[in-house]
Structure 1
Amino acid sequence: MQNLESEVRPYLSLWYEESVMHVHRVVQLVQANVAYLLHAALSQTHVEVVGADERTRIDMARFVKAASLQGLVQEEPAPVQLCRTSSERSHAHLLIDCSASTPTFTNAGSCTTRHTQQRRVRAKAAYVHVSSVVSNRFCDDWIQAFLNAAECFNPFLLRQILENFKLKAIQDMNNLKRFIRQAETSHYALFRCCLFLRGCGNGDVLLRNARAEHSGLAEACAIIRVLQEFLTEQAPGTPGTSQ
């Protein structure tokens, strides 16, 4: 029993620092731009942190890993990755430069799309510059919850919010998979898919994951292509789309 205690105690002493506090430090650092990290995590976008100390790099990596669905959804097969749209390929790398007093977020892709946002968000007394970085409405809707918990210095609540964020993403993914199965035999179910994707605000991520999981199913892939076209037509800035 004493041996067990001596082995477990070091892990317990590090648990709070490694599993809880990094979430608080990251949110405090990036403020409202936490949405870009959340989207990068869900979409399995590579995040590179430069100009930061070792702890900040580790914190960022832990945050992205904690927010991701890695292990819960399938990876895209190589042929599927080659068939991504140009907009998806252009946002395959998120670069966070912490060399200045305020972090700079940039997309490492060579082009931007209508999903790209360029803005400067005030964080306390400084601005965090964001250029050509992708998020979506689903991730943006969680910003205030993270900021409120960080302002109250409640690291445990922040960790719980992060888990709730993942849980909601998983629930939406399961709903979409169910709708896709139903849409194989029902046009009404396909219509429900379209309504669901338009309302959830996370259609880009959900369809990417669905495409990976159904890559070997011809009927499901055909439905996903229809849904992708629907999302493209509904995106802001598309000709004929109502604002």
Structure 2
Amino acid sequence: MAHIAQIWRHPIKAHGREPMVNARVETGRGLPFDRQWAIAHEAAKLGASEDGWHSCRNFSRGASAPLLQAMRSSFDLATNTLTLTHPGKPGLTVNPDLAADQARLIDWLADFTPQGRPAPKSVVRADNAMTDSQTVSLSLLNLASNAAVGEKLGREISPLRWRSNLLVAGLAPWAERDWVGKNIRIGSAEFLIRKEITRCRMTEANPDTGLRDADTLGALRDGWGIQEMSVHAVVVKGGDIAVDDEIEVL
């Protein structure tokens, strides 16, 4: 039976990740505190936005700064503080909503930007979640599909490369692609599987080192003629989800 093996959130878009055991999700919203903040770069064009969402092109991301992939995070809800760690430098704890801490964070992030790329400039808080798609969702990854990509590459690869929220075990490879357009139930919540997720070069970077060491996009293209991996899951009925919850296709 397909079930949730892991739950991950990424409080700052493309900057760190942390595991969760359970969560309460709400209709039309992302995983709590997932992509709650994003780091706008010097070339960002953040115009007026009715829903507070902005294109990923405005933010620092692992596609252009692969070292970000190795960042980890830990969010403390009680104090609204976020601790970021990286193998390349000492960690940092900040409140991402305080101006003084935002300045400290931007300074701490400067070393991760390759020469010639726009440097981080400011912290942006999302009204909902600053996901890549304007229709806010959780991302669901089939661990068997990740293993199939690893087999194509001739090595095991971490599923954390794909920065998904829900990691699913118990499925055949690529079975999640058949869920597009269908609803699923996890715990007491229900989701619409809206579409597949087109991937970028961030997935080439190792989540332990931040170094590009696997041609994930080439493996998808050569093996299956696609650039998609995992699917968007839009919350259509709020509820509680947890690791080990079974998944029912409705």
Same fold flag (TM > 0.5):
no
* Larger helix share, 1 or 2: 1
Which of the two has higher C-alpha Rg? 1
Task: Tell me the TM-score normalized by structure 1.
Answer: 0.29
Relative CO higher for 1 or 2, CA cutoff 8 Å, sep ≥ 6? 2
